[in-house]
Copies of this chain bind each other. A is one copy, B any other.
Amino acid sequence: MAGKANGTSGNQVRIAILGASGYTGAELVRLLARHPNARIVALTGDRNAGQPLAQVFPHLRALKLPDLIKIEDVRWDGVDLVFCALPHGTTQKVIAGLPAHLKVVDLSADFRLKDAAEYARWYGHPHQALELQKEAVYGLTEIKRAAVKAARLVANPGCYPTSAQLPLIPLLADGLVEEDGIIVDSKSGVTGAGRSLKEANLYPEAAEGIHAYAVGSHRHGPEIEQGLAEAAGKPITVTFTPHLMPMSRGILSTIYVKARNGAKADDLRASLLRAYEGEPFVTVVPQGESPATRHVRGSNHVHIGVFPARATGRAVLVCAIDNLVKGASGQAVQNMNVMLGLPETTALDQQPMFP
């Protein structure tokens, strides 16, 4: 059978995926299926426990995989690393209960915000695992590589924050843009909402249209700001507007900044080229080209464009990612690779799929 998920080589890391019946779970399986150093030994899905994953995701039927089980049925002594793709809130309780020998990459929002009060404010309840929250490393790999390498628990970044922070952090760190007045206008595909049954995600509701949602109130706002503030060395408030549009995968963030000290678009571009030189997944596209989500689809790639605005002293940044890959499962595998000292591109070398 093509693409077996598990081999038998003795030095493979044994992986459990918690919440494998969601889109990010399936995407982890798709990517790990080709990872030579990883073997999936447990898949959990509470509602589908007892079923093969192929029942839930027939596109993965060619893989030899363990059946879905309940979390409480995982034998943790046979597991080395856990990907946690559970809903937020649930996650912190589950992870707090895991044995200490496990490395964890958490794809939920539970451990991303470092400030406990900020967490409580945005998520509506006090954090249940404050010690872990302190320990967790924010896994924006290109920016946090060293910390990720040493981490036991990585908080995998949100999809919108990944697309907003990667273009902005180097510019703020280099002092090239004003901290004030940053606007992030993001357009997301529908998988960003997960596989949950909401009317807005039905085909006839989502196709052939677009709308903004959670204007001024999306939880990824403070996550974006946390990363930017760290780069700038001071608090930053961002105007962040997410939109839902008819594509399955992808986020395009169009970002509006004011340049500092007469910096031009070319200076911004130069800063980004420096920051991401040699990075396998981040490309600053040539001048005049425009990043498109379709050009990164299915891959861990990030395409960033820099444009002068007509208004003097302003610039426009455009960043394209696949929300399920660099915005979720791909970056999670990238973080795993870093945590394990493996080449960072392992199992992430699939080219984007276009058309």
Contact = CB atoms under 8 A, between A and B. Distances in A.
Interface of A: 1-3, 23, 26, 29-30, 33-34, 57-63, 180-181, 183, 185, 187, 189-191, 195, 197-199, 201-213, 215-217, 221, 237-241, 243, 245-250, 252, 254, 256, 280-281, 283, 285, 289-301, 303, 305, 307-312, 314, 316, 318, 320, 345, 348-355
Contact of A213 (B190, B238, B250, B290): B290
Per assembly, the copies of the chain total: 4
A355 B281 contact: no
Given A34-B351, A190-B203, 19 more contacts: A30-B352, A34-B349, A34-B350, A59-B351, A181-B314, A185-B256, A191-B204, A195-B199, A204-B248, A208-B249, A208-B294, A210-B292, A211-B320, A212-B252, A212-B316, A215-B305, A245-B247, A249-B355, A298-B298
B351 A205 contact: no
A35 to B, nearest CB: 12
Given A2-B345, A349-B34, A190 B202 contact: yes
A183 to B, nearest CB: 5
Nearest to A265: B216
A86 to B, nearest CB: 18
Contacts of A300: 2
Query: 10 closest Cβ contacts across the A-B interface?
Result: A209-B294, A204-B355, A211-B292, A3-B349, A197-B197, A203-B206, A59-B352, A215-B307, A59-B354, A59-B295
B191 A30 contact: no
A252 B211 contact: yes
B256 A30 contact: no
B209 A202 contact: no
A351 B314 contact: no
